[in-house]
Structure 1
Amino acid sequence: MRRVTRVLIFHIATAADWAAARSSGSYTTSTRGRTLDEEGFIHAARAEQWRGVHARYYAQASEPLLLLEIDTDRLTSRVVQEPATAGGDELFPHIYGPVEPSAVLRAVPLEEALGATSFSALFLREVMRNAMLGMMVLLLAALGAVLLDDALGGWGVLVGALAGAGAGVLVILALSRRVART
């Protein structure tokens, strides 16, 4: 058994289980139809493994599913790489305790995650989204600098840029909280 240090791991969850976890503050579903108490740990997968887990255990699921992207650095429970079955060679991350919703970076509808051609496509989409948000902050900073330049004189550019950038950061935080609630 090897201890895992900061990585992203993935877990397939029902939308109902994830909604309940966000309400209670603790996700405790180990795998489809089994709880953490019953199994002893929560099953997870690395980026290259979650599609196989879906195909083996969730392909026939009729309820809405989500792919949870979990930052192991944010977990209070320990994560251990272990074989999925006794005598198995392939190691999977097992979470020995509940998952705090704050450790989940994203909850992506599974259809969307499966529609991405690869983990790289999901990563690239996230990078592009963050780049667009960064550009929005820069544009708001520039707009603030232009608007306050005449009004405040020499300090107007600096004050306006800081105010615009601050407004952009507040917009991003508000959007992040809104997305986290959905």
Structure 2
Amino acid sequence: MVHDLMARYTGIAQALHWLTVAALCLLLPFVWVAENFPPGPIRVFWYMAHESMGISVFLMVLMRLTWRWGHPAPAYPVGTHRVTVVLAGLTHGLLYLVLLVMPVTGYLMAGNGQDVPFFRLVDLPGFAHDEALGKAADTVHVACQFAVYGLIVLHVAATVWHVAVRRNGMLERMLPPQRLP
């Protein structure tokens, strides 16, 4: 069983992780809603929400990587297989990469010939229209969409495996200590 001496991520790392999860849970529905409205102000609003949340994810991932640079991940539980450590590192690395590439390609699409509103608070500068760049960004963005789906499913499945089958306390590394009455 897990005890209070379990090595955990810092509170800031945990907060950034769960804020990123929440933002990702909003990104997809925002674009689904946008796609289901005809051109007009409602569609523009939902695309702005999607793009703004994508920029937020980009900033959170940069903060996570910056924080992680100075605060390494906690040690794995004793007895964790080397293969598990390597696969976890590969999955996390690919998730970070995809979660940086997607907002960049999204920005290249949204800012192609126009400014990009960030939650209607500020307009981020776009750049000159470039059809080839827009198409390339769209292709990469869609490919990354499926990569992020697969990586998130893999990440969640591994978490479920560690919680339900291995029962080795792996999830507790990303949770604050639990106080029992």
Q: Which TM-score applies when normalising by structure 2? A: 0.27
Q: Which structure's CA Rg is the greater one? A: 1
**Higher RCO by CA contacts (8 Å cutoff, separation 6 or greater):** 2
Higher strand share: 1
With structure 1 as the length reference, what TM-score do the two structures score? 0.27
